[in-house]
Each structure stands twice: as C-alpha cells, then as structure tokens.
Chain A
Amino acid sequence: MQQTEFLNVVLPFKDKLFRMAMRLLVSREEAEDATQEIILKLWEKKKAMVGYNNVEAYAMMMTKNFCLDRLKSKQAGNLKLVHSNYSDDSVSLQRQVEVRDSLGWIEKIMQELPEQQKIILQLRDVEQYEYDEISKLLEMSPTAVRVALSRARKTVREKLMEKENYGIG
C-alpha cells in the first residue's frame, strides 16, 4: 500500500479519531499526540490493513484502547498527588469562569461521565454511529449499549437542569 492510498483510506476518519481522543483525554495537545500516534501505528501495519474489512472501526477501537491506557498510566503516576478533599472546589471555581455558556457547560458535564458512557455518547450522538456498529466496536451487547447511553443522556439532562435551576454562570 502506497502513501497516497493509505491517506485515502485514513484521512476520511482521522477527525473522528481525534474527537474520540479529545473526549477521553480532554487536553487538545494530548489528543493530537494520541491521534498522530494511532495513525503512525496504522501506517506501520498498513500491510495487514488491507485484510481488515472495516479500517475505521479498527482504528476507532485502537484509539479508544490507547486513550484508556494512557489515562490509566496517568492515574497510576498521579496517585500520590491526589487530595480528594479540596481539589474539587478549586477546579470548579476555575471552570466556572471558563464555562459561561451552556455548550461549555455540557462539555464539562460530559467530562465527568464514566469513560464508557463518554465513548458511547461520543459515538452515537456526535459521530452518529449505528447501534450495532457501537456494540461491535465496544464488544458489548446492544442492550448494554442502550442502557449505558440512556444513563449518559439522562445524566447530561439532569446536570443541565440543575444548572438552570441554580443559575450558575
């Protein structure tokens, strides 16, 4: 597989990989690095890639796993620095400044969701993947996907209502 051919296959979904990385890793730089690394990994595996019938789903799965690994190692590295009793307040005060509009607020709400719900919400509501694609990609039953998705959407709604009632921002 030549470079142009490779790019023709990969470029259409590179933004999706990036957005998934952004969803999980939060910082833009980290997400960019992760996406770059995933695409380079694909480039190394380009010979095997010809055999995959769905390169996009494969790349998406790689991105998901890569980001989760990265989060895990980061958490392990930071374990000693966590002060559970006061860190939350200072962060939320800082964030209140950033999160003026309701769109930013939703972004913040999504950051607080469990990883799996983040991924499912990202795949379904942002990227508009079909349900069976998501369940295949995450190796979950369709019912489990719908349950997690419902939970995620309801949490976002709930937090959004809370914000409205307290009038933050």
Chain B
Amino acid sequence: MELDRIEKLLEKYFDASATVAEEKIIRDYFLNEDIPAHLQRYAPMFKYFSNAKEERFTKRLPLRPGNRSYWKGISVAAVVVLVFGIYFGRSYQERKKAEYAYQETKKALSLLALNLERGTEKVAYLREFEETKQKIYNNN
C-alpha cells in the first residue's frame, strides 16, 4: 500500500475524521504489514488495542433460579397447608375435649348410680322392718 495514503489516513485517524472503513484499513495495516521505520512508533497503539480485546471475563456467574412465580406458588401452598392445619387441628382438639368431658360425666353418673343402689338396699331393710312390725301388730 502506498505510504502516502497511509500517512494521510493516519492523520485523519488522529483527527477522528476517518470513516469506520478507513480506520479498519489503518488498523489492518499496522497489525499485519511490514511497517517502515518512521511509522513503527504507531504500531504499539494498534497492537495494544487488539490485545486489549482479548481480555476475558472468567468469573463464575451465580445465577440462582430466581423464578419468582415458582416461589410464589410454594408460599401460597404453604399458607394453605398452615391454615387447614390450624383449622383441623383445632377441631380435633375440641373433639378430644368433648370425649374427655363425656367420660368424666359417665364416671360421675355411675358413681351416683352406685350410691343410689346402696340407698335402695337400706330401704329394703327398712321394708323388712316394716313388714315385721305389721306382723307384730296383727298378732296383737
């Protein structure tokens, strides 16, 4: 490539008035071709730019499956389970309590029945006494 043209393009490059295509010509020239001594000094610039483009980002990306609808679904389900749990848990407790009360009442009633029976036994004695008394009266 004619030196003249390169020098002109280089001037345009530093004035930032070159087109994208012209800049590409300059870049390729300084990266590939044999460069005359007086232009050698510019070569590191273009070499540096092309080297700088080789940097790579290598760090790991901790992308969590931050799917929000998924979490929302889970939390709704958890709340439902919790509410039902409390509701049924409470009614179960109530049934237990009622059963306990029923047992207690039954115990109390049977105790009462027992004592009542004991009472009637005594009444039986009393009746016998009455009958005997009647007999004595009749005999007299």
Query: Do A102 and B44 touch across chains, with their CB atoms under 8 A apart?
Result: yes
Query: Do A106 and B55 touch across chains, with their CB atoms under 8 A apart?
Result: no
Known: A15-B55, A154-B14. A126 touches B49 (CB 8 A): yes
Query: Do B48 and A157 touch across chains, with their CB atoms under 8 A apart?
Result: no
B51 at the interface (CB under 8 A from A): yes
Q: In the docked arrangement, what's the CA distance between A125 and B51, Å?
A: 11
Minimum distance in angstroms from A102 CB to a CB of chain B: 4
B20 at the interface (CB under 8 A from A): yes
A-B contact pairs, 9 of them (CB 8 A): A18-B55, A18-B56, A19-B55, A22-B55, A36-B59, A105-B44, A153-B14, A153-B16, A157-B14
Minimum distance in angstroms from B58 CB to a CB of chain A: 8
Q: In the docked arrangement, what's the CA distance between A104 and B93, Å?
A: 79
A26 at the interface (CB under 8 A from B): no
A130 at the interface (CB under 8 A from B): yes
Known: A15-B56, A18-B57, A127-B53. 20 other contacts (CB 8 A): A3-B65, A18-B55, A18-B56, A19-B55, A32-B57, A35-B59, A36-B59, A36-B62, A39-B61, A43-B66, A103-B44, A103-B48, A125-B49, A126-B49, A149-B16, A150-B15, A153-B16, A156-B45, A157-B45, A160-B44
Minimum distance in angstroms from A155 CB to a CB of chain B: 10
> Which among B42, B49, B51, B56 is the interface contact of A157 at CB below 8 angstroms?
B42
Q: In the docked arrangement, what's the CA distance between A44 and B63, Å?
A: 10
B72 at the interface (CB under 8 A from A): no
Closest 10 CB pairs of A and B: A18-B57, A150-B16, A102-B44, A149-B16, A146-B16, A106-B48, A125-B49, A32-B59, A103-B48, A126-B52
A168 at the interface (CB under 8 A from B): no
Contact string, A1-40, partner B, CB cutoff 8 A, digits 1/0? 0010011000000110111001000000000100110011
Bin the interface of chain A by size: 35 or more
Q: In the docked arrangement, what's the CA distance between A88 and B17, Å?
A: 35
A107 at the interface (CB under 8 A from B): yes
Contact residues in B for A43 (Cβ distance below 8 Å): 63, 66
Known: A3-B63, A18-B55, A18-B56. A153 touches B13 (CB 8 A): yes
Contact string, B1-40, partner A, CB cutoff 8 A, digits 1/0? 0000000000001111100100000000000000000000
A164 at the interface (CB under 8 A from B): yes
B118 at the interface (CB under 8 A from A): no
Query: Do A147 and B16 touch across chains, with their CB atoms under 8 A apart?
Result: yes
B residues 99-126 in Cβ contact with A at 8 Å: none
**B56, B57, B61, most chain A CB atoms within 10 A:** B57
> Which among A14, A36, A131, A160 is the interface contact of B45 at CB below 8 angstroms?
A160
A161 at the interface (CB under 8 A from B): yes
